[in-house]
């Protein structure tokens, strides 16, 4: 019923230049060989071994479902529950949980300065791992608490004045747009909302909606890489360079791509990128990232000034994370979360994201012929978030009704949002589509 192989040739991988294809193939094969590392001592009993799954070595294939069943068992989701809410909150794999718990217990056992000194080194290890993961220098990465805090650091830190203009997407996360409105009301600059076509025909058409809105007064462009409201994806790799050529700063909200899409910030050419660990990255809660391109670090004022300010950090993104007392265990465990993703492999994650989203779209089309899929069907304009509308569905009660059928998702106004991730199987998608069909 559903597609088994999604990726067929290198150019079909979004943002993956041909020059790095062989490197990715070798890396993914090596990661497959190391799959036994996925398990941990406290994991529940496994079924088929990871040794058998390691035989699937083609990184351009989504692999046998037994592989993804094994990945699913790395997550402590209760039996029978189908979590399709990655756009909001993801579970962490056991190995990440275990690391958080170990470090939290360590602090509680000995909260002395001497014992906690090791977290300074672990913070830098996490920063380096995250920088490599997103294609940035460690000095350009601040580890903050979530996407909202990262966005607000940029909104509040840029020097904007009356007469300046900020262009934002009306499909951004509401908190991102409201933060611009509040700042504009205080300082007098203009916020211009851009609407994109309801049924976009191409990535170019989506991009033109923004570029047509630019004027000589435009100082900043702020948009979500993927909209949590519609699932529409903006081609940031093409839009950001155009804005830069016109002297416009770009803030890309990566909440819906970090952890499921290839993010290469050194190639994207954005000035700021923000994301949370608790969504598709499946990392510790209350940890996020703020990327500030090195040329912009000196131009951005910090949102908060706390312990550590003035210790020679003004020339790096570290100056944006002086946030007071933090949970060191969560920050340190980010290294484990990066390692988990790397073990699966970038190409496998990309392929699986497409496969699961396609499965939702095809399932809705087949089982609910009257439904309207709000999210574009082509991969070039969408990713893992799938939004659809079912006629005559009582959305007021649908969330609880679906949960009673063991489906956790989101209801947004009159729309249903399914956002699957690599801990879901094709069988999960089939059951979840049947569940919404039962209500309709």
172 lies in which domain range?
113-340
pLDDT tier at 310 (50, 70, 90 boundaries)? confident
Q: How many domains does the chain have?
A: 1
In a domain, 349, yes or no: no
Question: Residue 308 has what pLDDT?
Answer: 78
336-390 pLDDT tens trace: 999 999 999 999 999 999 999 999 999 999 999 899 999 999 999 999 999 999 9
Asked, for residue 305, whether it belongs to a domain, the answer is: yes
Is 157 contained in some domain? Answer: yes
At 284, the pLDDT band (50, 70, 90 cuts) reads very high
Residues with Cβ within 8 Å of 129's Cβ and at least 6 positions away in sequence, in order, are 334, 335, 338, 339
DSSP 81-140: -EE-BTTT--PPPHHHHHHHHHHHHHHHH---HHHHTHHHHHHHHHHHHHHHHHT--GGG
- Report the Cα 11 to chain-centroid distance in Å: 22
Angle at 82 between CA 78 and CA 84, to 5 degrees: 125
Average pLDDT over residues 248-262: 97
Q: Following DSSP, what letter does each residue of 354-409 receive, concatenated?
A: HHHHHHHHHHHHHH-TT-EE-S-SSGGGB-S-EEEE-TT--HHHHHHHHHHTTEE-
Kindly report, residue by residue over 25-84, the tens digit of the pLDDT: 334 443 433 443 444 434 443 434 333 334 445 554 546 799 999 999 999 999 999 999
Q: Region 240-250: what's the mean pLDDT? A: 98
- For residue 13, pLDDT over 90 is answered with no
Q: Is residue 156 in some structural domain?
A: yes
Nearest to 164 by CA among 142, 198, 188: 188
In a domain, 74, yes or no: no
Residue 269 gets the label, from left (phi > 0), alpha (psi -120 to 50) or beta, of: left
Q: What is the CATH number of the domain that holds 212?
A: 3.40.640.10
How high is the mean pLDDT of the chain?
88
Asked if residue 299 belongs to a domain, the reply is yes
Inside any domain, residue 194:
yes
pLDDT tens for each residue of 165-208: 999 999 999 999 999 999 999 999 999 999 999 999 999 999 99
Question: What does the pLDDT read at residue 41?
Answer: 37
- pLDDT digits over 222-238, tens only? 999 999 999 999 999 99
Q: How far apart are CA 407 and CA 382, in angstroms?
A: 23
Q: Please indicate, yes or no, if residue 409 is contained in any of the structural domains.
A: no
């Amino acid at each position: 019923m559903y597609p088994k192989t999604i990726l067929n040739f290198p150019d079909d991988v979004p943002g993956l230049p041909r020059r790095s294809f062989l490197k990715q193939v070798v890396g993914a094969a090596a990661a497959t060989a190391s799959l036994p590392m996925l398990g941990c001592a406290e994991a529940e009993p496994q079924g088929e071994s990871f040794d058998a799954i390691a035989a699937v070595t083609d990184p351009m294939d989504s692999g046998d479902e037994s592989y993804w069943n094994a990945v699913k068992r790395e997550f402590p989701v209760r039996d029978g529950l189908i979590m399709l809410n990655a756009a909001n909150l993801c579970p962490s794999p056991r190995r990440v949980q275990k690391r958080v718990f170990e470090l939290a217990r360590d602090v509680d056992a000995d909260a002395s300065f001497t014992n906690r000194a090791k977290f300074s080194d672990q913070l830098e290890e996490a920063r380096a791992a995250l920088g490599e993961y997103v294609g940035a220098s460690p000095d350009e990465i601040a580890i903050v608490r979530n996407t909202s805090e990262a966005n607000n650091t940029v909104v509040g830190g840029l020097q904007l004045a009356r007469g300046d203009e900020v262009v934002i997407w009306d499909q951004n996360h509401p908190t991102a747009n409201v933060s611009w409105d509040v700042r504009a009301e205080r300082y007098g600059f203009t916020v211009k909302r851009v609407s994109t076509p309801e049924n976009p025909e191409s990535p170019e058409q989506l991009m033109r909606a923004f570029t047509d809105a630019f004027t000589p007064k435009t100082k900043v462009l702020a948009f979500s890489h993927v909209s949590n409201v519609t699932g529409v994806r903006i081609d940031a790799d093409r839009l950001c360079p155009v804005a830069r050529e016109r002297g416009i700063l770009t803030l890309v909200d990566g909440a819906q791509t970090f952890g499921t899409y290839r993010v290469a910030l050194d190639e994207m050419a954005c000035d700021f990128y923000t994301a949370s660990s608790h969504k598709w990255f499946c990392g510790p809660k209350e940890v996020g990232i703020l990327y500030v391109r090195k040329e912009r670090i000196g131009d951005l004022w910090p949102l908060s000034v706390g312990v550590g300010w003035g210790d020679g950090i003004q020339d790096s993104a570290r100056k944006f994370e002086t946030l007071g007392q933090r949970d060191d265990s969560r920050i340190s465990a980010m290294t484990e979360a990066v390692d988990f993703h790397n073990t699966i492999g970038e190409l496998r994650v990309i392929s699986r994201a497409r496969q699961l989203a396609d499965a939702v779209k095809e399932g809705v089309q087949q089982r609910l012929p009257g439904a309207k899929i709000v999210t574009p069907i082509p991969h070039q304009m969408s990713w893992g978030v799938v939004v659809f509308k079912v006629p005559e569905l009582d959305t007021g009660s649908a969330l609880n009704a679906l949960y009673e059928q063991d489906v956790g998702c989101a209801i947004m106004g009159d729309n249903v949002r399914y956002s699957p991730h690599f801990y879901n199987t094709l069988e999960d998608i089939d059951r979840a589509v049947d569940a919404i069909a039962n209500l309709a």
